[in-house]
Every structure is written in structure tokens, then in C-alpha cells.
Chain A
């Protein structure tokens, strides 16, 4: 290249950088539109006492009930906390298990690398029909379905199923399973489509069929990332499950809300710390798992 051609230096922030910049600009504009100002940070006179008491609770979380009298047969607070955590995890696991099945099946049909890489439509009439008509249609439909499942938040699904099934754990389980299944399907399909293709190509070159290519050439390469991601989503599901308690399901959120409604902030903190501890444990566990299965 001639030195004279060096006139225009490409700006070092490319398209990806511009996306991040655009988000910051959008944030600035929306703050303006919402009329947010620094004055809002200062809590109104009336709220200060509440806030102070709430924050004070952080230092002294409750170990026994704050109320002077509790109904007979109420288990001790700490036992209640442990039970609520257990119920939260059970609900999360129930929803997550179903989500995993949905995510795997939809992720398979929402991925294209196992059939689109075959090259052309094939020569047999039946194969042509399947590969160039049926599979692309299923693929498109599944992608749309995945978006629909994800676009409604689990809390909204919970409200819907609460109305439909009443306060039944099944409603809570599918409220988690649907959006989580959608998210898993989206990410699984992308992992399957983005994993290195050379194993798949070589199996195809020695006569393997599309499903065999998927099972032995693509899936093993994506499986590590897929399981690490699923585990991370499990941790998210535990938090969702806790929050579902606000609607009356017997998870951590139910007791947390009761305590908050009764202005027992020290009990609120006990539940918050318990949730924090659980998430922390999951985090440590998933980090260890990730080291073992992905980064080896």
C-alpha cells in the first residue's frame, strides 16, 4: 500500500462498539424523557424512617420471630427459612427439568447446522421435500415459538396460570418452564449452530446421515457449553421461584412478603440472606462445573 493511501484511518470503534454506545445514548434520552433528576435520590421525609429501619435490619437479621406472639404450631423461624428455601429449590427444579426437555427439543429443531450444511436439497424426491420444504418450515415456526415463549416473563405466566389453575404448584412449574424453555432453546440452538463444524463435516464425508451428524459431530461439541448454561439458568430459576412466592406459592417470596407486610424488616433480611447464600452456593458450584466441563 502506498503511504499516500493512508489518508483515512478507520475509526477504531466498529459496529459492535456502536451498539454499546447506542444503548448508553438511549439510556441518557430515556432518563431525560422520564424526568429523572438527582433530587429523586433523596427519600421523602415520610419514607426516611422506614428506610432507616429497613437498612438497620440488615445488620441484625432475625433469628426468632419479631412478633411477640405467633400462632400455635408455627415452626421456629430458622426452620421456616430452611423449609422455604427447600420448597423454592424444588419448584425451580420442577420447572427447570421441564424447561430442559423443551429447550432441548426446540433447540434441536431451531438449529439448522445438522440439515442445512448437507449442501443443496439432495437428489431423492422424498429427501428433497424434507430438507428443502419441511425442515425450513419447522425451523421457522420453532424460531417464532421460541420468541413467543420468551417474550412473556415468568411472572406474567404465573399470573395467567394462577387464574387458570388456582394456587396449584403445577401452574408455578409451567410458569417457569415456558419462558425458561424458550431461552434454553434459543441459546442451545445457537450453540449447536456456532460450534466448530469440522467433526460434523468429516462424518458427513464418510457417509453419516444428518441425525448421526447431529448426534456424534455437533452435540458432543456443544454439550459442555449447553450444560454449563443450563446450570446457570437453574440458578436464575431459583430466584424466579422465590419471587413466585409473592403470588402465594409457598416459596421463599411468600414468607418474605408476609414479613414485609408486617413491617418485620429483620425477618425480611433473614430471608434475603438465605436467598443470597443459596445463589452464592449455586454460583460456586456452577463455576467449578464450568471449569471441569468447558475449560478443560
Chain B
């Protein structure tokens, strides 16, 4: 099954990665990577551990800075914008990291409300988190209901299952009003059936809300089945970048072949 994707998503964020290298000390994580991501597009970064998937994702919201080259979001070079502008850009990009990054000892409600921290000043953010207004709570509840976890709104996150936490993280990105969603290995902790359920959920949510969706994943079969475009990374470089239907099995195999 290949998902049909709307061509025009005017609000979604387009990204462009131009000749970017990233090194951590002497270790090269990415080596001259070029990547064009259209607004509202969905793609998966695939490749073995250490191939640079996470680094690529983190470039897109400038939580990793390129050693060389540049990264543009909506045409703006993220290395040149002001701190405030960077916060603004980040507040439009939802993140589902491998560890989900939720606050385990806060309730689901607070975790979702925290999605808008980047859009509010310090004092303006205190009230909705400490004493949420009824309207805010209703908005969160509606989101959670759509994701099927409405009755968990007052549960602490550390009492939830892995799948439920995943949905809380998605709800946070939705409440954030994200125009792009970066998800790092969101399915690695889930069993195959739940992984399918979650990928469908993510795709649906991204399409409905006109988000650009960039996923990184291990499971190539799943990626090929659900995502229109695959970018294969190996050793910090792009091995292939094309429509999922055109990716050859041999290319996938060579991606994961161990080096002699």
C-alpha cells in the first residue's frame, strides 16, 4: 500500500539540507549530505544503527548544528536566525524522540499542555500548566479522545504503557500545532501489530494536519509498505533517495550488509 499524499500543504514546513557534514570530535556522523524535503511530504530515513538517521533528524530542528553546509527550514538558514526566531521555528516542529521525552512524573494533561511552551513567555506558560483553564483541558481531551486515550488525561505518564506514552507524545505534537513532525525510531519499542497501528496513526495525523513527516526507522519492510519516499543512509552518507516503490531489494540489502 502506498499512501497518497496531498501535493499542496501550504502551512507545512519544507526543509533543505545542503552539503551538510556533522562530526562529533573526530567521529564523522554525517558526510556531505544533501536532502530536499517538500512541504507536507512524508519520508522515512532508513539504515543501520550509527548510519546518521538521528543526526539527520536533529539537524532539522537545529538541536545538532552542522560542522559544514547548511540546513534550511522554510528557506531560512537555521544557523543564522536569532535565538528567538529559532525558538519560534522549533515551536512549529514536533519531536518524538526515541525516549519520547515526556516528563514521567507529570500527568498526561500537563505533558500535552507543555507542547505550547515554545509559543508562550515564561509567565504566560505557568498558568496553563499549573491551573489549566477549562477550555485548554477540553482541547486536550478532544485530542486525546481522537487518539483513543481520553480517559488517561489525569494519569501520570510513568503509569502508562509504551503504546499509550507514544500517543501522549503524538498528542503533545498535535497540541503544539506542529507543522512538521520528526519521529526517531517511534516503533522500535512496539510489537509489530502495534507498530502498524502507530505508523497509520502518525501518517493520518500528519496528513490531516498538513505536517511534513520525517521518520527514522529500522524496519525497512514497514517503511516500504507505508511511506512514499525512502532515504537510505549508510556510514553518514545518502545511499539512495527515491520513491519507495522504486527502491530495489538489493539496495536495501546492501544498506544493512556488514562491512568486511
Interface residues of A (CB under 8 A from B): 119, 122-124, 127, 198-199, 201-209, 211-212, 215-217, 220-221, 223-224, 296
24 A/B residue pairs, CB under 8 Å, sorted by A: A122-B83, A123-B82, A124-B82, A124-B84, A127-B83, A202-B100, A202-B101, A202-B102, A203-B114, A205-B61, A205-B93, A205-B95, A207-B86, A207-B91, A207-B117, A208-B87, A212-B122, A216-B106, A217-B103, A220-B103, A221-B103, A221-B105, A224-B105, A296-B158
Report the Cα distance A207→B89, complex, angstroms: 8
- A216 near B88 with CB under 8 A, answer no
Contacts of A215 in B (CB 8 A): 126
Within the complex, the shortest CB–CB distance from B175 to chain A, in Å, comes to: 11
Contacts of B176 in A (CB 8 A): 206
Report the Cα distance A217→B94, complex, angstroms: 16
Contacts of B119 in A (CB 8 A): 207
Do A199 and B122 form a contact, CB below 8 Å, given A123-B82, A206-B93? no
8 Å CB interface, B176-218 against A: 176
Do A216 and B129 form a contact, CB below 8 Å, given A199-B102, A199-B104, A202-B102? yes
A119, A127, A199: which contacts B103 (Cβ < 8 A)?
A199
Report the Cα distance A122→B100, complex, angstroms: 26
Contacts of A122 in B (CB 8 A): 83
Report the Cα distance A209→B84, complex, angstroms: 9
- A207 near B99 with CB under 8 A, answer no
Contacts of A123 in B (CB 8 A): 81-83, 86
Smallest Cβ-Cβ distance to A219: which chain B residue: B103
Within the complex, the shortest CB–CB distance from A108 to chain B, in Å, comes to: 14
Other CB < 8 Å A-B pairs besides A124-B84, A206-B90, 17 of them?
A119-B65, A199-B101, A199-B103, A201-B63, A206-B95, A206-B115, A206-B118, A207-B90, A207-B91, A208-B114, A208-B117, A208-B118, A212-B117, A216-B110, A216-B125, A220-B106, A221-B103
Chain B: interface residue count, which band?
35 or more
Within the complex, the shortest CB–CB distance from A157 to chain B, in Å, comes to: 36
A205, A216, A296: which contacts B90 (Cβ < 8 A)?
A205
- A198 near B101 with CB under 8 A, answer yes
Binary contact track B47-84/A, C-beta < 8 Å → 1, others 0: 00000000000000101010000000000000001111
Please give me the 10 A-B residue pairs with the lowest Cβ-Cβ distance, nearest first: A207-B118, A202-B101, A207-B91, A207-B90, A208-B117, A207-B87, A199-B103, A198-B99, A205-B95, A212-B117
Contacts of B86 in A (CB 8 A): 123, 207
- A202 near B83 with CB under 8 A, answer no
Most interface-central of B65, B83, B97 (chain A CB within 10 A): B83
Within the complex, the shortest CB–CB distance from A144 to chain B, in Å, comes to: 28
- B117 near A206 with CB under 8 A, answer yes
Smallest Cβ-Cβ distance to B122: which chain A residue: A211
Do A124 and B83 form a contact, CB below 8 Å, given A201-B101, A224-B105? yes
Contacts of B82 in A (CB 8 A): 123-124
Report the Cα distance A223→B105, complex, angstroms: 9
Do A198 and B117 form a contact, CB below 8 Å, given A206-B90, A212-B125, A223-B105? no
A124, A204, A223: which contacts B63 (Cβ < 8 A)?
A204
- B117 near A203 with CB under 8 A, answer yes
Within the complex, the shortest CB–CB distance from B252 to chain A, in Å, comes to: 30
Binary contact track B117-139/A, C-beta < 8 Å → 1, others 0: 11101100110010000000000
Report the Cα distance A255→B38, complex, angstroms: 80
Within the complex, the shortest CB–CB distance from A40 to chain B, in Å, comes to: 52
Do A206 and B122 form a contact, CB below 8 Å, given A199-B103, A199-B104, A216-B106? no
Within the complex, the shortest CB–CB distance from B25 to chain A, in Å, comes to: 15
Contacts of B121 in A (CB 8 A): 209
Report the Cα distance A119→B115, complex, angstroms: 21
Contacts of A296 in B (CB 8 A): 158
Within the complex, the shortest CB–CB distance from A224 to chain B, in Å, comes to: 7
Contacts of B158 in A (CB 8 A): 296
Smallest Cβ-Cβ distance to B176: which chain A residue: A206
Report the Cα distance A166→B242, complex, angstroms: 83
